Structure 1
Amino acid sequence: MNVIVIGGTGFIGRHVVKRLLDADCRVLVFHRGKTDQDTKGPAESITGDRKKLADQRSEFQKFGPDLVIDLIAFTEDDANSLVETFKGIAERLILISSMDVYRNYGLFLKLESSESNRIPITEKSKLRSIFYPYRSMAKDKAALLFNYDKIPVEQIVLDAKYLSGTVLRLPKIFGIGDHKHYLHEYVKRMKDGREYILLDKKHAEWIWTRGYVENVADAITLCTVDKRATDQIFNVGDIASFSESEWVTKIGRQYGWDGRVLTVAQNELPKHLQTEYDYDYHLEVNSDKIRRELGFKNRISIDNALEKTIEWELEHQSKDFDVNHFDYTAEDKVIEKHK
Structure 2
Amino acid sequence: MNVLFIGGTGLISQAVSKLAVQKGINLYLFNRGNRDGFVPEGAKIITGDIRDPKSAAAALEDYQFDVVVDWIAFTPEHVQTDIDLFRGRTKQYIFISSASAYQKPLQHYIITEHATPLENPYWQYSRDKIACEQLLLKEHAATGFPVTIVRPSFTYGDTMIPASLNSWPHPYSLVARMRKGEPIIVHGDGTSLWTMTHNSDFAKGFVGLLGEQKAIGEAYHITSDEVLSWNQIYEAIGAAAGVKPNLVHISSDFLITYDPDLEGGLLGDKAVSAVFDNSKIKKLVPDFAATVPFAEGIKRTVEWFEAHPEKCSEDEAWNEQMDRIIAAHSSGMNVDR
Q: TM-score, normalised by structure 2?
A: 0.78
Structure-to-structure mapping, 1:103-118, within 5 angstroms:
103-104=103-104, 107=105, 117-118=107-108
* Cα deviation digits, residues 60-94 of structure 1 (max 9, x gap): 35332100011011111111111111112111111
Amino acid at match of 1:188: A
Structure-to-structure mapping, 1:302-313, within 5 angstroms:
302-313=294-305
CA distance in 2, matches of 1:330, 1:58: 53
- Decide whether the 8 Å contact of 1:228 with 1:294 is kept in 2: no
Deviation at 1:175, TM superposition (A): 1.4
Is 2:233 the partner of 1:247?
yes
Is 2:30 the partner of 1:51?
no
1:217 aligned residue (169, 181, 203): 203
1:176 aligned residue (158, 161, 171): 158
Q: Secondary structure at the match of 2:45?
A: strand
Deviation at 1:234, TM superposition (A): 0.6
- Decide whether the 8 Å contact of 2:189 with 2:251 is kept in 1: no
- Decide whether the 8 Å contact of 2:68 with 2:90 is kept in 1: yes
Deviation at 1:163, TM superposition (A): 2.9
Aligned residue in 2 for 1:324 = 320
- Decide whether the 8 Å contact of 1:75 with 1:148 is kept in 2: no
Structure 1 gaps of 5+ residues are 108-115, 135-144
Aligned residue in 1 for 2:147 = 165
* Cα deviation digits, residues 158-199 of structure 1 (max 9, x gap): 3332431111101012111339368645422222234x6443
CA distance in 2, matches of 1:212, 1:25: 22
CA distance in 2, matches of 1:267, 1:128: 20
Amino acid at match of 2:34: K
Q: 1:66 to 1:246 in 2, by over 3 A?
A: same
Aligned residue in 2 for 1:188 = 176
- Decide whether the 8 Å contact of 1:54 with 1:81 is kept in 2: no
- Decide whether the 8 Å contact of 2:21 with 2:40 is kept in 1: no
Deviation at 1:211, TM superposition (A): 1.6
* Cα deviation digits, residues 129-148 of structure 1 (max 9, x gap): 65x933xxxxxxxxxx7x97
Q: 1:89 to 1:223 in 2, by over 3 A?
A: same
Q: 1:69 to 1:183 in 2, by over 3 A?
A: same
Residue identity (%):
23
Is 2:33 the partner of 1:33?
yes
Q: 1:292 to 1:254 in 2, by over 3 A?
A: farther
Q: Secondary structure at the match of 1:62?
A: coil
Aligned-CA RMSD value? 3.5
CA distance in 1, matches of 2:324, 2:177: 9
- Decide whether the 8 Å contact of 1:90 with 1:163 is kept in 2: no
Is 2:263 the partner of 1:281?
no
Structure 2 gaps of 5+ residues are 162-167, 332-337
Q: 1:60 to 1:268 in 2, by over 3 A?
A: closer
Deviation at 1:215, TM superposition (A): 1.5
Aligned residue in 1 for 2:112 = 122
Amino acid at match of 2:154: K
Query: Paired residues, what number?
Result: 311
Q: TM-score, normalised by structure 1?
A: 0.78
Q: 1:265 to 1:225 in 2, by over 3 A?
A: closer
* Cα deviation digits, residues 74-118 of structure 1 (max 9, x gap): 1111111111111121111111110121121xx4xxxxxxxx655
CA distance in 1, matches of 2:55, 2:31: 13
- Decide whether the 8 Å contact of 2:17 with 2:40 is kept in 1: no
- Decide whether the 8 Å contact of 1:70 with 1:94 is kept in 2: yes
- Decide whether the 8 Å contact of 1:57 with 1:86 is kept in 2: no
Is 2:129 the partner of 1:150?
yes
Amino acid at match of 1:19: L
Deviation at 1:149, TM superposition (A): 0.4
CA distance in 2, matches of 1:155, 1:93: 14
CA distance in 1, matches of 2:315, 2:96: 27
